[in-house]
A and B are shown apart, each in its own frame.
Chain A
Amino acid sequence: MSSDNPATVAVPTNRAPAVSSRVVNFPASSALPAVSPTDAVAIDAREVNIFYGEKHAVIDATLGIPARSVTAIIGPSGCGKSTFLRCLNRMHELTPGARMTGSIRLNGENLYDPKVDPTVVRRRVGMVFQKSNPFPTMTIGENVTVGLRLNGVRDKAFLRERLEDALRKAALWDEVKSDLAKPGISLSGGQQQRLCIARAIAVQPEVLLMDEPTSALDPIATAKVEELMNELKRNFTIVIVTHSMQQATRVADQTAFFYLGKLVEFAPTRELFNNPREKQTEAYITGRFG
């Protein structure tokens, strides 16, 4: 199935070090510390197929997502990009009737091993959603530490430390440090989204998945979140699904283009946009469809 599909051939499957070396040379990521070849690929997805009942949502997707960089997934609505993102932390399992085949490894460990608890996977692979969703019953501070507290952390000093660290990393500390006892939903939309990012990174995941994190934000808030991603990739591997190709060019070190459930092309962002190898990619990025 995959062999006669030209789309998957183009994917730099087993050439992860090659990808990372190209990443390092890529000007947009010059701030990035050189990625050592050993931890180059954080997420290694192979022949991933996802079905919703009869619907084949993701078809034979194989790609290696480099560590400590931003990887964007673009494509028209319904192309399977969100579905693929959600299978990276096993969130798709919550959809009734969802099935997945293939393997996804996080730093070498199979996330779909029968012995692996999906709860633990989600602690290692955090997620930020399209619509900011701070818990309405909690204060700003409680929202940030909720992941730790509900996982049994009681140590007040430790929680306080993580709270400040996460808010600083989310570039929100200066704005809210005197309002930690105010409700999380009293913040503005952009601040709420950064609060959700702080909440996700407070549990110190290895990977941060972002599902159209700025589509509900105004341009100024969007710029802040994008700037933040640039900072966060020093510590985290970021995978972002976006509808905006401009956003992909601004934030992503490499970009994957999905179409009709298939991974059409995966390349360093500049290469994908300036010099796409696939006709479908070119048609999409030049606005001929989608």
Chain B
Amino acid sequence: MSSGIALSTPPPATPPGAVRVGQVSEGLRRWRKFKSALVAGLCLTCALIVVTPLALVFGYLVIKGVGSINLDFFTKLPVPHGETGGGVVHAIVGSFILIGLAALVGLPTGILGAVYITEYAGRRFASVVRFAADLLNGVPSIVWGIVAYAILVLPKGSPFSLGHYSAIAGALALAFIMIPLVLRTSEEVLLLVPNGYREAALALGVARWKIATRIVLKTASKGVLTGALLAVARVSGETAPLLFTALGNSGWSHGIRDPMSALPLQIYAYAISPYPDENRQAWAAALVLLLMVLVLNVGLRYATRDRLPTRPGTRGKKLSSAANTAATTAVTGGAVTVPQT
């Protein structure tokens, strides 16, 4: 209060009615307070709008799906239409294989592409790649399905075509959705690595490629992993690209050159099915898919937590923590994340 700053010093004698600097009328002050509260309230509303759908979806899935989740659901194959019971183990395994293959192709490509444009490329080439990635991020996922279908499924589509539906085609469609996503998120965190680290390593006579991988990428690894996770979560739920490629399968078949089932495909098939028991299992499968993404997310964050404990306050700016929080919140709705600052 009496800290001696200009605004709180005793007002000098002024003619009545004159407004002194830093002092405003009661009405104006109320109006300003109202505006401040209005903006804060508007922002709060928007923040709630972000979280609400996730809470609703998750709650609804639990209500509708939890009753159908039992051991059989995770261990048994589907039973013939019309019968009750059975499970979706083939789709769960299929999802893991498809996402694993997609990650195997998509993550290194996206991450190394980002390393190239931040560590090596000239400004023009980098902006061309960045622009292309932004455009590709806007491509609807079904288009990727059709592209993979045309190239890898149609018998005379290309020299690489298998001529039939296959898990490879599905995984590649998913990989191409991941690449621009991973590239952009990785690029953002690589750019956050202070140049001082690159210079320090250069001054030690370390080769450029080792600086890129062992210093820069390692320093940004948490943020890069978060971006990778976001991409994995994003494609885990993709259905459209798989409809034209992996197709789906109701039996235990996991050759990557053959059609393969996946949870989203199974959800789609069961959701439009006329049999109530299959509808019920669709809810359960959706819940399982959401939980899988959640477990993957929390698990990876736990695995990549800070191994080097730091003195509080010594690490002024945590690389990637902003991107980290943002990405995780996007995936989990913030319901399970402790925001780190």
Contact = CB atoms under 8 A, between A and B. Distances in A.
Interface of A: 89, 91, 94, 96, 119-124, 126-127, 129, 131, 133, 135-137, 139, 146-147, 150-151, 182-183, 185-186, 196, 199-200, 203, 209
Contacts of A89: 203
B315 interface: yes
Contacts of B309: 183
A133 B204 CA distance: 13
A150 B218 CA distance: 13
Contacts of B12: none
B219 A147 contact: no
Interface stretch (B2-10, B52-60, B170-178, B206-214): B206-214
Interface stretch (B67-75, B92-100, B152-160, B194-202): B194-202
A129 B200 contact: yes
Contacts of B218: 137
A122 B196 CA distance: 15
A56 B200 CA distance: 26
Contacts of A94: 199, 202
Contacts of B215: 135
A147 B196 contact: no
Q: Which of A96, A121, A124, A127 has the most CB of B within 10 A?
A: A127
Contacts of A186: 310-311, 314
Given A122-B204, A151-B204, 13 more contacts: A89-B203, A91-B202, A96-B123, A122-B202, A123-B204, A127-B199, A131-B196, A133-B194, A133-B199, A135-B219, A137-B308, A139-B308, A200-B203
B206 A127 contact: no
Contacts of B205: 119-124, 147, 151, 203
Given A119-B205, A147-B204, A129 B199 contact: yes
Nearest to B319: A136
Closest 10 CB pairs of A and B: A123-B205, A147-B204, A127-B203, A133-B196, A183-B308, A122-B205, A150-B206, A133-B200, A150-B210, A137-B218
Nearest to B206: A150
Nearest to B218: A137
26 contacts: A91-B203, A119-B206, A120-B205, A121-B205, A122-B202, A123-B204, A126-B204, A127-B200, A129-B196, A129-B200, A133-B194, A133-B200, A135-B197, A135-B215, A136-B219, A136-B308, A137-B308, A146-B206, A150-B201, A151-B206, A182-B308, A183-B309, A183-B310, A185-B315, A196-B200, A200-B204
A89 B214 CA distance: 22
A195 B253 CA distance: 57
B311 A150 contact: no
B311 A147 contact: no
Contacts of B197: 133, 135-136
A201 B199 CA distance: 16
Chain B interface residue bracket vs A? 20 to 34
Nearest to A147: B204
A122 B308 contact: no
Interface in B129-182: none
Contact of A203 (B122, B204, B207, B208): B204
Contacts of A133: 194, 196-197, 199-200
Given A133-B197, A137-B308, A150-B210, A185 B203 contact: no
Q: Which of B202, B215, B311 has the most CB of A within 10 A?
A: B202
Interface in B258-293: none
Contacts of A126: 203-204
A89 B202 CA distance: 10
Nearest to B309: A183
Contacts of A122: 202-205
Contacts of B203: 89, 91, 122, 126-127, 129, 200, 209
Contact of A185 (B204, B208, B214, B314): B314
B310 A150 contact: no
Contacts of A127: 199-200, 203
Q: Which of A96, A126, A183, A203 has the most CB of B within 10 A?
A: A183
A146 B201 CA distance: 8
Contacts of B201: 135, 146, 150
Nearest to A131: B196
Contacts of A137: 218-219, 221, 308
B142 to A, nearest CB: 41
A217 B309 CA distance: 24
A147 B199 CA distance: 12
B115 to A, nearest CB: 16
Contacts of A199: 200, 204
B122 to A, nearest CB: 8
Contacts of B221: 137
Contacts of B208: 119
Contacts of A185: 310, 314-315
B316 to A, nearest CB: 10
A139 B308 CA distance: 8
A190 B315 CA distance: 16
Contacts of B310: 183, 185-186
